Amino acid sequence: MNTNHMSALTEQPVINMSSSINLALHDSLQADERTMLIGEDIGPLGGVFRVTAGLLKTFGESRVVNSPLGEAGIVGTAIGLAMSGYRPVCEIQFDGFVFPAMNQITTQLAKLHHRSRGTIRLPIVIRIPVAGGIGAIEHHSESPEGYFAQTPGLRVVTCSTPQNAYSLLRASIDSDDPVIFLEPKSRYWDRGVVDPNLSMSIDTADLLCAGEDIVLIAYGATVKTALEARAILADKGIGAAVVELCSLAPLDLETLVSVVSSVGRAIVIHESSLTGGLGAEIAARVTEGAFYNLEAPVTRVTGFDTPYPPSRLEHGWLPNVERVLEAVEKTLDI
């Protein structure tokens, strides 16, 4: 589906997440001539996932820039462009390819604003397809959010539906801060209604569903897992609230602590490994803020402390509905 001019339609389109991100990029390029895209194969090919399809034809090669195969060069070039007044949006082809750019991201992009005492702003978005669930080969399924979330100076944002992918990416591009924008690749083909006029803050967590027995905290691909678990729990008479983290850095602790305090039990769900994962930080912060209201420890359902496995073993490695239900049962029994 060609979404290049979808925002001009009077009816809200039903599109998949990859198309909603394409629409967000189109609308941002159209809204501000300083915005430009840079990445490998984003031009005629339209990116590995075809997220940038059609944008080169519409905006030209000066604003949709095919880069050489070098992630450090992509981010380094974007930093120079931002210091010259542009608002670059970088695409990293796969999550496992971002690591060659980590020096640029952590020592330059994250620190220049602080180092310059606020005189330098770097309005750069780095888009990264992340996580597993598509049967990819080695280095094509990673969950690197923890590296970025613990780096002061970076905003880390993720999405789970076509609507919040559109709205959060538009807000990220409009931000004057550097944003790592994580796109769960297993959700690229999920479809939903997208209202281009619906704005969202990139600082928040959203209470998707209320519940009186337990809170399921999730982000990215695992939001759908949490919602599926909630539906099964509801049939058993168990009320589960679902909180989606749109911002991973900073965390919306006010929402998290408020919801968990009102319920008393919580589980954090994410694909990245258990040890040192973002769930540990969330559990610690929620425990500190909601300690006197907790009926049980905040627990986690995560990937295991191994690299992402071969594709045929993913089903047993990823945090699935069955593992969430087991964690709920244990937590409610305490």
CATH number reported for the structural domain that contains residue 315 in this entry = 3.40.50.920
**pTM given for the model:** 0.93
Catalytic residues: 140
- For the chain, the domain total comes to 2
pLDDT at 8: 42
pLDDT at 52: 96
Are 245 and 194 spatial neighbours (Cβ–Cβ below 8 Å)? no
Instruction: Judge if 185 and 230 occupy the same domain.
Output: no
pLDDT at 271: 95
Domain boundary at 170, 193, 216, which?
A: 193
Rounded to whole angstroms, how far apart are CA atoms 157 and 248? 6
Instruction: Judge if 173 and 291 occupy the same domain.
Output: no
- What is the dihedral sign for C-alpha 281, 277, 279, 136? positive
171, pLDDT greater than 50: yes
Tokens of 286: 């929620």
Residue in 129, 125, 153 with CA at minimum distance from that of residue 35: 125
Rounded to whole angstroms, how far apart are CA atoms 259 and 211? 9
320, pLDDT greater than 70: yes
Least confident among 18-32, 124-138, 194-208, 287-301: 124-138
Instruction: Judge if 220 and 176 occupy the same domain.
Output: no
Q: Could you read off the pLDDT of 99-131 as tens digits, one per residue?
A: 999 999 999 999 999 999 999 999 999 999 998
pLDDT at 12: 80
Q: Is residue 27 part of a domain?
A: yes
143, pLDDT greater than 80: yes
191, pLDDT greater than 50: yes
Domain range for 269: 205-333
Q: Can you tell me the mean pLDDT for 257-261?
A: 98
Q: Could you read off the pLDDT of 219-252 as tens digits, one per residue?
A: 999 999 999 999 999 999 999 999 999 999 999 9
Q: How many CB atoms lie within 10 A of CB 333?
A: 7
Q: Could you read off the pLDDT of 273-314 as tens digits, one per residue?
A: 999 999 999 999 999 999 999 999 999 999 999 998 888 888
pLDDT at 135: 81
Rounded to whole angstroms, how far apart are CA atoms 28 and 41? 20
Q: Is residue 12 part of a domain?
A: yes
Q: Is residue 198 part of a domain?
A: no
pLDDT at 270: 97
Instruction: Judge if 169 and 214 occupy the same domain.
Output: no
pLDDT at 10: 46
Rounded to whole angstroms, how far apart are CA atoms 273 and 58? 41
Instruction: Judge if 162 and 215 occupy the same domain.
Output: no
Q: Is 326 exposed, middle or buried (0-12, 13-18, 19+ CB in 10 A)?
A: exposed
CATH value at residue 66: 3.40.50.970
Q: How many CB atoms lie within 10 A of CB 289?
A: 17
6, pLDDT greater than 60: no
3, pLDDT greater than 60: no
